[in-house]
Amino acid sequence: MASVPKPDLGAARQDLYRKIEKHNFAPLWEVYHELIPDQPVTRCKPAIWKWADSRPYLMEAGRLITAKEALRRVLVLQNPGMRGESCITQSLFAGLQLILPGEVAPSHRHTQSALRFVVEGTGAYTAVDGERSMMNPGDFIITPSWTWHDHGNPGSEPVIWLDGLDLPILRAFAAQFHEPYPEEVQPISRGEGASLARYGNNLKPLGAVAPFGKTSPIFSYPYSRSRETLSKLAKEGDPDACHGWKLEFTNPLTGGPAMPTIGTFIQLLPKGFRTSPYRSTDGTVFQVAEGKGKVSIGGEEFSFGPKDTFVAPSWHPVTLETKEECVLFSYSDRPAQLALGLWREQRDG
Ligand code: GTQ
């Protein structure tokens, strides 16, 4: 039988807590269920960023600060449940980056991995360890950890892309390093498309050594190819009830995820399709490449259209309903969770 607390026990406990606090102790039993919840708990909330807001604010920022002064002219997509923490989920960063004609975002490297999903404009490039890739809407581009990178816009239109970084993960591990390149723009040592030619055609050079370690040696996955693949798939079979036709970007040297910490996906949903509810432990950021529809995230409904960004927190059921054929790019921390044996999913959840 549990002993019945004596009337003065509460006061004695408080007394103990006060004493031990000075010596950097705390009682686990007061916070046990908060620390070990029955299922995922996060301050991350479902949210949407509408392009009709994003674009004018970015252009206003473009009039107020140069890419050079800002280093990166980015509006951070702040999760409304985690303001001031520069994150869209507890493990991921998202931002919209603008580069204007004639600008350069200076070269640097950092241990955070970054992805870019091009939203609008043509004529800008990103350079990774000596190779440039032009950026076109829908292209998925990787900046592997600790690779030199700069962006430039020799074209005539503003170019905007979504940045995804694993910055909160590196912050959690305190494993962040950053270094500026001695010049503003790094020298080019390979022709455009060299990486894609070497690794992106179901062929690889003999004795290929992964140039970017655990990250895919292809750093630019053009939209033309992903879109064509989705269109072909859609003619060949039925859509998955939860995802439509959904594909993961892979590292051709391993068959695994293109990035070691961030999972990257592209999916096609036919017009008038309603997905079965789905949830997983990887909170996911979605960028609308094409189409319109509605999404329900943990019971909250949002209408979305082209170029909008929305976020589904961990373990919140997601249902998508399309008004038009839709293409969605998405990213999450799934590879990190899988590597640690933590990832779970529930269909019809
Ligand atoms: O383009 O290198 O959104 O370093 C945040 C940090 C973009 C980048 C971001 C970065 C970059």
Check residue 348 and give its pLDDT: 86
Is 65 a member of any domain?
yes
Is 40 a member of any domain?
no
Q: Which secondary-structure segment (H or E) carries 311?
A: strand 309-312
Residue 312 CA from chain centroid, whole number: 12
Is 28 a member of any domain?
no
Check residue 61 and give its pLDDT: 98
Is 23 a member of any domain?
no
Is 107 a member of any domain?
yes
Contact 293/320 with Cβ under 8 angstroms?
A: yes
Cα 72 to averaged position of ligand 1 atoms, centre (Å): 6
Closest listed residue to residue 248, CA positions, set 337, 317, 330: 330
Write b or e for each residue in 225-240: b if 16 or more Cβ atoms lie within 10 A of its Cβ, otherwise e.
ebbeebeeebeeeebe
Cα 11 to averaged position of ligand 1 atoms, centre (Å): 52
* Rg value, the chain, Cα: 23
Domain that holds residue 337: 47-347
Domain of residue 58, CATH code? 2.60.120.10
Name the domain count of the chain: 1
Atom of ligand 1 nearest to the CA of 95: 3
Cα 79 to averaged position of ligand 1 atoms, centre (Å): 18
Q: What is the DSSP string of 110-167?
A: ESS-EEEEEEE-SSEEEEETTEEEEE-TT-EEEE-TT--EEEE--SSS-EEEEEEE-H
Check residue 274 and report its DSSP letter.
B
Check residue 94 and give its pLDDT: 99
Closest listed residue to residue 46, CA positions, set 76, 95, 80, 87: 80
Is 14 a member of any domain?
no
Tokens 């992805």 identify what position? 115
Work out the angle at residue 142's Cα, subtended by the Cα atoms of residues 136 and 143, and round it to the nearest 5 degrees: 120
- Which residue ranges of the chain lie beneath pLDDT 50? none
Check residue 5 and give its pLDDT: 62
Is 243 a member of any domain?
yes
Is 9 a member of any domain?
no
CA distance 310 to 145: 25
Pocket test for ligand 1, best of 93, 103, 165 (most atoms within 8 A of CB): 165
